[in-house]
Amino acid sequence: MSREVDLWLAWLLRWRPKTHRGRPRVCRRCVGSPLLAAAGLDQDAPHDVQHSLTMRLKAIVDTAVDDYTARNLPNLDREIRLAEERKARRAYRADEGLDPEFRGMELDPEPVADHPFLFTLAGFDEATASAEPQPEARPFTPLEKEALRDEIRLADEFAKQVGRRACVELTRHRSRIRTAVDTLVEPHIADMLAELERELSTPGWFDV
């Protein structure tokens, strides 16, 4: 946890606010995240700043759950590996191999009226996925279904345990996260607000 916070702080040194329009879609990974609440970053922070930390912390939880599943839940582990093998047959995946701060973000910028894209990464990703024929999955027996449900429940319970432990660890880093936001993020926001105020005070349509 300490290492991921260190990496996030290093990224924050390079962060600059975006100047283009953002999508209005709510990010389900960040809104209401208990990890962000534990870090003290759930309010008054740009989404890019929140999302970068969220995805790094999510990777910690996911890795722990994957390890637990591989060691203790054979049915679920088998199904996950089969799903990954099916995904690996796809020729291209636009969202694979991205740095943590970009995972789960929109693949394409906001479209501009009367300026259509020749293609979009999201559309290309969907096209390659649908073009690849997928083998039919073997039907489960009633006993296999029940066993898989039990293992999914156990995996969910373990994920909640790891998430609670992560939240406890994060509270120990709240002060330096808050300091970083105050010193690295707030000045950028203040500059943007000052620039906006200057533009509103001297609108171009007064020029003749």
pLDDT, tens digit only, all 208 positions of the chain: 899 999 999 999 998 887 555 555 778 888 889 999 999 998 888 888 999 999 999 999 999 999 999 999 999 999 999 888 877 776 667 667 677 777 777 766 666 677 776 667 667 666 665 555 555 666 788 898 999 999 999 999 999 999 999 999 999 999 999 999 999 998 888 877 787 777 777 655 555 4
Report d(CA 96, CA 108) in Å as an integer: 14
Task: Check: pTM over 0.75? Answer yes or no.
Answer: no
Report d(CA 82, CA 88) in Å as an integer: 10
Please calculate the CA angle 42-105-67 and round it to the nearest 5 degrees: 80
Query: Which among 87, 157, 95, 80 has a CA at the least distance from the CA of 129?
Result: 87
Report d(CA 27, CA 46) in Å as an integer: 12
Report d(CA 121, CA 116) in Å as an integer: 13
DSSP class per residue in 113-147: TTB--S--HHHHHHHHHHHSPPPPPPPPPHHHHHH
pLDDT in tens, 21-73: 555 577 888 888 999 999 999 888 888 899 999 999 999 999 999 999 999 99
Long-range contacts of 151-155 (CB under 8 A, 24+ apart): 151/69, 151/73, 151/74, 151/75, 151/76, 152/76, 154/72, 154/73, 155/65, 155/68, 155/69, 155/73, 155/76
Contact 53/8 with Cβ under 8 angstroms? Answer: yes
